[in-house]
Amino acid sequence: MTAFLDAKFVYTQSNNESVMVGFADDQFNTTEYILLQRMLDPLQEGNNSQQEDVYIEINEQKYGAYGGVRSIVLSADLVVISVSGHAV
């Protein structure tokens, strides 16, 4: 899968349980986005085995899944997210 998103807004959030990073075409009138989330302690009691993987979502929750993220490469003006065939 190849997709391109010209992100004008980046969102980050962390708490005691997880870290979330989102990229969106607009902060308030979002039409396209990519969301990544990872549990800080995926083996903590109450978490299921899927939560050991990165959750990725593209544009809608129905296009979200745990696992499949192979790599994330960050450069000065580009983020490349490689996913396997079973992701999203």
SS3 for the chain, per residue? Answer: CCCCCCCCEEEEEECCCEEEEEEECCCCCCCCEEEEEEECCCCCCCCCHHHHCCEEEECEEEEEEECCEEEEEECCCCEEEEECCCCC
For the full predicted model, state whether its pTM sits above 0.85.
Answer: no
**Mean pLDDT, consecutive 10-residue segments, the chain of 88 residues?**
84 94 96 93 63 87 89 89 74
pLDDT of residue 44: 64
As a whole number of Å, the end-to-end CA separation of the chain is 9
pLDDT of residue 23: 96
